[in-house]
Amino acid sequence: MKSILLFRKSARAYLLLLSILLAGASCAVVRKNDQAKPTVFLIGDSTVKNGKGKGDGGLWGWGNFLDAHFDTTKVSIENHALGGTSSRTFRTYGHWDKVLARLQPGDYVLMQFGHNDSSPVNDTLRARGTLKNNSDDTEEIENLITKKHEVVHSYGWYLREFIKDTKAKGAIPVVLSPVPRNQWADGRANRNADSYGKWGAEAAAQEGVTFIDLNRIIADRYEREGEAKVRSTYFNTKDHTHTIEAGARVNAEAVAQGIREKKELRLNRYLLKN
């Protein structure tokens, strides 16, 4: 009889200890998940990060100032853009692989390419151009820089590959149209709704992801403020593509506005209130 009672007491003690351990483990998991922050990875060209991202030559990309619009206690911003790259060379030179290896479920990838995609497909300077559309067409070349055979795809195709890779990691891709250059015609700012903006929108729609027409948002603002102010405030006199700090801050604000306009995008939750 005593042995039975001792067995029952031991069993109750074991079950009590097991329940405490399981509860502790559950709390640990909850705490870990609560502490984990999603990361917003930025990929793109020098209009996103110019040079080393330290104001090289007085020029800045908008990626340097995007964190000012987010609650960074809840989300992290990492700028992996690289000047001189196109949607093609960001992949072929391995830059995307480094970002992809770090992606976790729930992270975001904001991609903005296009300024360098209009370069020649094959030359001895950069060989970075892409086919000017969103098709599945290809062009086979013997790359004059790498000395290797390469199959070159369309701008839209490269974006779609970024999107598919991002989705495969459980992260959320967002496509942005390229920011406007400081080029004007009859009081109208530079727009790309019939080129890279169009092809980016088509690629995003094809893959069912969010497209932010960053070019439209910024060009609309430029036209409201006028050519004279834009030229003197957001750019220097030597460069019509890259912004000085004031211009980069305007562009970062436009990115936040574009995110805010997309109600379906859960990234909205981390934006600071206006």
- What single string gives the DSSP state of each residue in 207-230? HT-EEE-HHHHHHHHHHHH-HHHH
- Beta-bridged to residue 140, according to DSSP, are 151
In whole angstroms, how far apart are CA 117 and each of 88, 127, 129, 156? 8, 10, 4, 11
- Domain spans, the chain: 1-36, 38-270
CA–CA separation, 87 and 113 (whole Å): 6
Please compute, for residue 260, the number of CA atoms within 13 A of its CA located in the half-sphere on the CB side. Answer: 13
Write the DSSP symbol of residue 270: G
Residue type, 98: K
CA–CA separation, 128 and 232 (whole Å): 31
CA–CA separation, 259 and 267 (whole Å): 7
Check residue 36 and give its pLDDT.
86
**H or E, element range at 141:** strand 139-142
CA–CA separation, 168 and 49 (whole Å): 26
**Cβ neighbours around 126 below 10 Å, total:** 15
Check residue 4 and give its pLDDT.
42
Closest C-alpha among 243, 248, 166 to residue 210: 166
Check residue 1 and give its pLDDT.
46
CA–CA separation, 51 and 33 (whole Å): 35
Question: Tens digit of pLDDT per residue, the chain (274 long)?
Answer: 444 444 444 545 444 444 434 444 333 333 234 348 999 999 999 999 999 999 999 999 999 999 999 999 999 999 999 999 999 999 999 999 999 999 999 999 999 999 999 999 999 999 999 999 999 999 999 999 999 999 999 999 999 999 999 999 999 999 999 999 999 999 999 999 999 999 999 999 999 999 999 999 999 999 999 999 999 999 999 999 999 999 999 999 999 999 999 999 999 999 999 7
Q: Which CATH number fits domain 38-270: 3.40.50.1110, 3.40.50.150, 3.40.50.300, 3.40.50.920?
A: 3.40.50.1110
DSSP SS3 for 200 = helix
Check residue 12 and give its pLDDT.
54
